[in-house]
């Protein structure tokens, strides 16, 4: 059996189909073939699909199924989904197969099924970062903002910390991360909205601003000027820190309500910092709208100023 080049999808499908049919037939006729030394195994080497040795025939079949699924996942995603599902039954690398299934369901906007699939993936590897990120995105689309933020918050903080410890930060990774910064900011905005009924009648959780700061926050801002936005974010951040210091001594039970607001402003700050770096390199952050940070800050500041 010859090689099939990786970008030759038609050739790869023929190649994997041959292996797939062959291995299913072998497994059907030879159920105890573990001592057979001449077992092929499909693997990508130097951009080619090749056969090498494998430990058992189920592993060969798994690799053939995965190879087919990878060929179909872009243009025939549901066919790919069924192949990943078949591969998952062989119990090799369930984290990979169920994650692929969840990705396909996400693209199909079948979020409940996507959640079931990613939970299966995380049973096999609970700490896998990419799977947890995908789960947070699925939960966001299901409007489960609390659980989404609970998963995403520590992942982003760890990602920022890892970057601080590195000499060089990947621009691609930073651009990708802005998608999740947007998600967590929007989650916290929804949670702030949900908590307003608990705070609107309670003056203890209202921020205090002088007239100058109020005027700065309500004045017109250039929707492309991140420096102007940053100066306004600082005003809210200082006001929230003062409020937290005040109520932590006298009313600690109110802290969770204020911390959600602080988390939101902190991630807006990170979004500004990362956007500035990305734009300085001639690229754009991966936000759903170019003015996302400005709109998010405006919404949060109006809530905090008016508390309604």
pLDDT value at 272 more than 90: yes
The predicted-structure confidence for 49-108, as pLDDT tens digits, reads as follows 444 444 556 677 788 788 888 888 888 999 999 999 988 888 788 999 999 999 999 999
Q: Is there a single domain that holds both residue 259 and residue 296?
A: yes
Q: Is there a single domain that holds both residue 134 and residue 14?
A: yes
Last residue of a domain, one of 108, 143, 178: 143
For residue 270, what pLDDT is reported?
97
- Tally the residues of the chain: 308
- Asked if residues 138 and 106 have their Cβ atoms less than 8 Å apart, the reply is yes
156: in domain = no
Rounded to two decimals, the pTM is 0.82
The domain that holds 11 is classified in CATH as 1.25.40.10
Q: Is there a single domain that holds both residue 22 and residue 95?
A: yes
pLDDT value at 251 more than 70: yes
Q: Is there a single domain that holds both residue 281 and residue 190?
A: yes
- In degrees, rounded to 5, the angle at the alpha carbon of residue 213 between the alpha carbons of residues 207 and 214 is 75
How far is 242 from 254, CA to CA, in rounded Å? 14
For residue 234, what pLDDT is reported?
95
Q: What would you measure as the largest C-alpha separation in the chain, in angstroms? A: 84
Q: What are phi and psi of 254, to 5 degrees?
A: -90, -10
Distance of CA 85 to the CA centre of its chain: 22
For residue 5, what pLDDT is reported?
43
For residue 4, what pLDDT is reported?
43
For residue 263, what pLDDT is reported?
96
Give the chain's count of helices (H) and strands (E): 12, 3
158: in domain = no
User: b/e map of 267-300 (b: 16 or more CB within 10 Å)?
Assistant: bbbbbbebbeebeeeeeebebeeeebbbebbbbb
Q: Is there a single domain that holds both residue 190 and residue 265?
A: yes
The owner of tokens 């699939």 is 117
Q: Measured in Å, how far apart are the chain's first and last C-alpha atoms?
A: 69
For residue 60, what pLDDT is reported?
72
User: b/e map of 25-59 (b: 16 or more CB within 10 Å)?
Assistant: ebeeeeeeeeeeeebbbbeeeeeebbbeebeebbb
Q: Is there a single domain that holds both residue 287 and residue 168?
A: yes
What is the average per-residue pLDDT within 191-198?
76
Q: Is there a single domain that holds both residue 216 and residue 185?
A: yes
Sort residue 143 into left (φ over 0), alpha (ψ -120 to 50) or beta.
Answer: left
56: in domain = yes
What is the average per-residue pLDDT within 115-137?
96
For residue 197, what pLDDT is reported?
58
DSSP symbols for 134-193: HHHHHHHHTT-HHHHHHHHHHHHHHHHHHHHHSSS--HHHHHHHHHHHHHHHHHHHHHHH
Q: Is there a single domain that holds both residue 137 and residue 175?
A: no
Last residue of a domain, one of 112, 143, 174: 143
149: in domain = no
What is the average per-residue pLDDT within 277-290?
95
Q: Is there a single domain that holds both residue 10 and residue 136?
A: yes
Mean pLDDT of the chain: 83
Q: Is there a single domain that holds both residue 257 and residue 132?
A: no
Which structural domain range is residue 220 located in?
A: 163-306
The predicted-structure confidence for 17-51, as pLDDT tens digits, reads as follows 666 666 666 655 555 444 544 444 444 444 444 44
Q: Is there a single domain that holds both residue 91 and residue 209?
A: no
Q: Is there a single domain that holds both residue 179 and residue 58?
A: no
* Total number of domains in the chain: 2
Last residue of a domain, one of 143, 177, 210: 143
Range of weakest confidence among 43-52, 109-118, 281-290: 43-52
The predicted-structure confidence for 130-178, as pLDDT tens digits, reads as follows 999 999 999 999 999 999 999 999 999 999 998 888 877 889 999 999 9
106: in domain = yes
């Amino acid at each position: 059996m010859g090689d099939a080049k990786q970008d030759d999808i038609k050739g790869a499908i023929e190649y994997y189909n041959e292996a797939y049919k062959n291995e299913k037939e072998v497994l059907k006729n030879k159920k105890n073939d573990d001592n057979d030394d001449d077992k092929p195994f499909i693997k990508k080497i130097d951009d080619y699909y090749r056969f090498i040795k494998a430990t058992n025939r189920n592993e060969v079949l798994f690799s053939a199924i995965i190879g087919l699924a990878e060929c179909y996942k872009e243009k025939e995603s549901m066919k790919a989904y069924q192949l990943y599902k078949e591969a998952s039954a062989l119990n090799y690398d369930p984290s990979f197969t169920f994650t692929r299934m969840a990705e396909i369901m996400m693209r199909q906007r079948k979020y409940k099924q996507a959640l079931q699939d990613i939970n299966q993936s995380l049973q096999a590897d609970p700490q896998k970062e990419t799977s947890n990120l995908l789960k947070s995105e699925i939960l966001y689309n299901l409007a489960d903002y609390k659980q989404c933020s609970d998963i995403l918050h520590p992942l982003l903080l760890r990602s920022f910390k890892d970057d601080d410890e590195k000499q060089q930060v990947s621009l691609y990774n930073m651009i990708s991360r802005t998608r999740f910064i947007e998600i967590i900011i929007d989650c916290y905005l929804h949670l702030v909205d949900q908590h307003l009924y608990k705070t609107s009648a309670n003056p203890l959780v209202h921020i205090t601003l002088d007239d100058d700061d109020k005027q700065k926050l309500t004045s017109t801002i250039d929707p492309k000027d991140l420096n102007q936005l940053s100066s306004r974010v600082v005003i809210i951040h200082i006001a929230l820190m003062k409020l937290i210091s005040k109520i932590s001594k006298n009313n600690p039970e109110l802290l969770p309500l204020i911390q959600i607001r602080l988390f939101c402003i902190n991630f807006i700050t990170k979004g500004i910092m990362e956007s500035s770096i990305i734009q300085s390199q001639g690229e754009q952050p991966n936000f759903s709208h170019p003015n996302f940070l400005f709109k998010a800050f405006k919404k949060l500041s109006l809530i905090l100023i008016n508390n309604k």
